[in-house]
Structure 1
């Protein structure tokens, strides 16, 4: 560890911020949460109660979890003694510019200033900051819910310091995440760009009447989702090439794959098409509540993580 992390400030208590709060507290940090929502205390209590069984299933001690979480009266109080700040505000450059100016001003000089931004690179909202402040700002983008899904994309800005990058990697590893440092800023980073590329084709296939939304999800969860959860696209292709590996795949199947790339679709998503798609998704999943669907998702994600843990232990 390049630094010691004892206190975390979570700024913004939507779905992502509340999940971060539970994760940080489960790893023994003191967490101060700030959000203008009037039901903040109730939202935090509910999120901790919901996340506790998941965290316990991952081997964490959730005894006294709520005792480590404190509601702050505002941003200044939340970040006053923070070693790390995790921002989870709206995806608007102007909002983040103002907020990070306040964070740089109010947080201790050693505090890491991290953003959960899912699309906006930090360089876009740190232009007005002094060099020493911009040096400790970077993206720490999770996947929902971050207390379960391990990946955190660590994306430094143009003026982020190398020590801040190393500290961010250490911090996320210390709370059980899998940080990946990305070498260049690009809108949407890596995970969301991959997700959007796949989503674009998924929407196109439904628009064209090839499959329904539910059928497409069945295709994914029974093929690519299963494969990619264990090996990822490149290793999957390397194995798909047989003993000749990725070279064989590229040289012998690459041409036909390139022809297929040319046929990939762009959804029209005009108002009528968009409404039809929404109606189709609602028909497929609208009979269950949001809570029921998320419970099923999280239970299955836990099962996948536990199975992979078991496989890794057997391998070692």
Structure 2
């Protein structure tokens, strides 16, 4: 039986878990967080406080309140009476299987267990659940979750369609852009695309074609600007002119496949890593991680404001 999701339990309050917490609070939900780290509670509170001005710019729900956040170090107490668990534990299959077996025992059968895993498959994780594996699903965000709308929803072999539907509806109701990944693959969709691009980034730097700063500029001031508006399929549809995607394929299939054959397959050797590290630090120009994150988030907020109406329309469809 489906239930309304009003109380969320956050397991793991690192960067992703803290960001999820901030988002859920901004949407007016009750959040109870748990983490074994002795510094987790303070880190979480500091993160939420730092993220709140950006969330205010995006628009808070009428019932949004940072006071609705509770930290409970005991796992069983933390998940009691929750409607959904957002799990953000280490990317270790043995850890997640043990955790999900425990959650499967103590949670009611209609409580969704959603994992933020960036690469593991739900079939492998939920195999430890002998009672209700059908309520386990991946809800993988893109960092930082409280700003970037994308959520990849992926079911496992025994995940029910009802769970997928409920998860899709829940995330969309938060203002997220949820996509249903219909087939399990390691890394899901967005991270695989990012990894494919970064493979060529490493190759171009390793071969001396361009340094790290110029490769970043080529992406962020070229196709990256367009990707912030629409994806490559629609962009190539535009690239085909009046003939659209059909004309694009007729004109550019040959050149594109020739480039594919020439793409690199580099190894991240210690020497290559050091070259990239030096290039990245040069590009950062002494700016701290916090400074760079603030710069990123300010630009993201501007882009999200421009795309707000489109996102609302998509969620209503």
> So what's the TM-score if we normalise by structure 1?
0.94
Distance 1:63 1:115 in 2: 26
Q: Which residue of 1 aligns with 2:124?
A: 124
**Are 2:266 and 1:267 equivalent residues in the alignment?**
yes
Judged with a 3 Å threshold, the aligned counterparts in structure 2 of structure 1 residues 62 and 211 are, in CA distance, closer, same or farther, namely farther
Q: Which residue of 2 aligns with 1:232?
A: 231
Distance 1:110 1:310 in 2: 33
Q: Which residue of 1 aligns with 2:217?
A: 218
Whether the aligned pair in 2 keeps the contact of 1:80 and 1:108 (CA below 8 Å) is: no
CA RMSD of aligned residues (A): 1.8
Whether the aligned pair in 2 keeps the contact of 1:56 and 1:62 (CA below 8 Å) is: no
Judged with a 3 Å threshold, the aligned counterparts in structure 2 of structure 1 residues 133 and 260 are, in CA distance, closer, same or farther, namely same
Distance 1:297 1:112 in 2: 32
Deviates more, 1:17-26 or 1:247-256: 247-256
Counterparts of residues 246-261 of structure 1 (less than 5 Å) = 246-261=245-260
Q: Which residue of 2 aligns with 1:33?
A: 33
Judged with a 3 Å threshold, the aligned counterparts in structure 2 of structure 1 residues 79 and 311 are, in CA distance, closer, same or farther, namely closer
**Are 2:14 and 1:20 equivalent residues in the alignment?**
no
Judged with a 3 Å threshold, the aligned counterparts in structure 2 of structure 1 residues 122 and 291 are, in CA distance, closer, same or farther, namely same
SS in 2 for 1:214: helix
CA distances 1:185-214 after superposition (whole Å, capped 9, x unpaired): 000000000000001101111111111211
**Are 2:174 and 1:175 equivalent residues in the alignment?**
yes
Q: Which residue of 1 aligns with 2:42?
A: 42
Q: Where do 4+ consecutive residues of structure 1 move more than 4 Å?
A: 61-64, 310-313
Whether the aligned pair in 2 keeps the contact of 1:153 and 1:182 (CA below 8 Å) is: yes
CA distances 1:68-111 after superposition (whole Å, capped 9, x unpaired): 00001221111111100000011111010001111111222211
CA distances 1:224-262 after superposition (whole Å, capped 9, x unpaired): 111111111100011101111111111121011101100
Whether the aligned pair in 2 keeps the contact of 1:9 and 1:82 (CA below 8 Å) is: yes
Q: Which residue of 2 aligns with 1:58?
A: 58
> So what's the TM-score if we normalise by structure 2?
0.94
Q: Which residue of 2 aligns with 1:139?
A: 138
CA distances 1:99-139 after superposition (whole Å, capped 9, x unpaired): 11111112222110000000001111221322x52100010
Counterparts of residues 61-210 of structure 1 (less than 5 Å) = 61=61, 65-130=65-130, 132-210=131-209
Whether the aligned pair in 2 keeps the contact of 1:156 and 1:165 (CA below 8 Å) is: yes
Count of matched residue pairs: 312
- Flag structure 2 segments of 5+ consecutive residues without an equivalent: 313-317
1:62: how far off?
8.2
Distance 1:250 1:7 in 2: 49
1:300: how far off?
0.6
CA distances 1:233-292 after superposition (whole Å, capped 9, x unpaired): 100011101111111111121011101100001123222222222222122226111111
Distance 1:155 1:103 in 2: 19
Distance 2:295 2:14 in 1: 20
Distance 1:286 1:90 in 2: 32
SS in 2 for 1:24: helix
Deviates more, 1:233-242 or 1:264-273: 264-273
Distance 1:37 1:63 in 2: 30
Deviates more, 1:142-151 or 1:73-82: 73-82
